[in-house]
Amino acid sequence: MADSDKGNNLGLSLNRRGFIKGCTMVAAAMGLSEAMIPRMVEAAASAKRPPVIWLHFQECTGCTESLLRSSHPDIGRLILEIISLDYHETVMAAAGYQAEKSLHDTLDQYAGKFLCVVEGAIPTKDKGIYCQIGGRPAMEILAEVAPKAAAVIAIGSCASYGGVQAAAPNPTGAVGVRDLVSTTPIINIPGCPPNPVSFMGTVLHYLTFKRLPPTDKLGRPLFAYGRRNHDHCERRAHFDEGRYVEQFGDHGHRNGYCLYKVGCKGPGTFANCPTARFNDVDVWPVSVGHGCIGCTEPNFWDTMTPFYERLPGVKLPGSPVTNVDSAGKTVLGLAAAAVGVHAVVGAVKRIAQCKCSSNSSEEEV
């Protein structure tokens, strides 16, 4: 956006025009009517900023990094004017005891009113000792904060479903927020990282309507995760037309053909990547020639890898089969061999019988 180009993203350089433009873009991303934009502007600009507690657990801070690059509205506007970000280990000024005090002040003062954002999975094995902050396990912090929150937003695939930490064999017993919290409404914004538009849209929806947006069965907001990447991919016409990249760098790849045969997981991945795109430069993996890796889906690390194969070794619990086609061909081949042996045995028996009966009596055949 031109507005954020003018200066520092973290500065307060955003003017009213840019602010309303940002709100309009988020409204469009959520599929709201333009009549809702004034209400959204009002909600976003109201003096009563809802406090937000942002908890970091087992994560890489990629979701926060992605959010820092948001521009509709930008991060400065978000934390200084829209919400009151009372606790966020990456961007907060306070440290140590001051930081913990800020957390507890918010918990006491705004119980039942603040939003809790969780980034990262929560380890549960060995009483959760594999992720501790201020000497306390992540499980304990979440158990204290989440029940007091008005709603929990799980940002990123780790907080939503466990992410890479929960990949087999899941050494720390990592789980997502929904596996531990049942009393507070939870919304999942999965992705690795998720698009800031999806997060901002959810926050602004909450501020505007005082409730969380409608979700699918996996707790993801429908405005962002209602359709599969495949269904609004710019390369979809190549898919239908049968024009595929056979390997990276070939003729098809240079001509922008469909990445289906080099493992694109767009057909099984619910997200708004092709429409919202990333970081104001209008790109997403497929637009730059790389298949979707399905990062917004549960267990994507186990079910979508290797990323460059169409139907990779999806791990079914207790099943030795990893490569369907070679297993299928083997079983079919063995069955054909068995059928052949069975037929030969039958034929040999019958010939033997004929010989015996023709020897003993000519009439009975």
The residues of the shown chain that bind another protein, judged by CB under 8 A, are 216-218, 226-228, 239-244, 251-252, 260-261, 265, 267-270, 294, 297-300, 303-304, 310-311, 314, 316, 321, 324-325, 327-328, 331-332, 335-336, 339, 342-343, 345-346, 349
CB nearer to another protein: give 49 or 243.
243
For residue 94, the minimal CB distance to another protein (Å) is 40
Q: Which secondary-structure segment (H or E) carries 343?
A: helix 324-360
Rounded to whole angstroms, what are the CA distances from 20 to 36, 74, 193, 261, 278?
12, 12, 26, 42, 20
CB nearer to another protein: give 62 or 226.
226
CB nearer to another protein: give 125 or 310.
310
For residue 93, the minimal CB distance to another protein (Å) is 41
Q: How far is C-alpha 27 from the geometric centre of its chain's CA atoms?
A: 21
Encoded amino acid at 152, one letter:
V
For residue 321, the minimal CB distance to another protein (Å) is 7
CB nearer to another protein: give 136 or 329.
329
**What is the sign, positive or negative, of the torsion defined by CA atoms of 179, 180, 185, 187?**
negative
What does the alpha-carbon distance between residue 109 and residue 89 come to, in Å, rounded to a whole number? Answer: 20
CB nearer to another protein: give 201 or 312.
312
CB nearer to another protein: give 81 or 302.
302
CB nearer to another protein: give 25 or 262.
262
For residue 282, the minimal CB distance to another protein (Å) is 24
Spell out where the chain has E strands. Answer: 51-56, 84-88, 115-119, 122-123, 132-133, 136-137, 151-155, 174-175, 186-189
Transcribe 128-179 into DSSP letters.
Answer: GTTSEETTEEHHHHHHHHGGGSSEEEEEHHHHHH-GGGGSTT-TT-EE-GGG
For residue 307, the minimal CB distance to another protein (Å) is 12
What does the alpha-carbon distance between residue 306 and residue 358 come to, in Å, rounded to a whole number? Answer: 64
Which two three-digit tokens encode residue 177? 């927020």
For residue 212, the minimal CB distance to another protein (Å) is 17
**What is the sign, positive or negative, of the torsion defined by CA atoms of 308, 66, 163, 300?**
negative
For residue 175, the minimal CB distance to another protein (Å) is 15
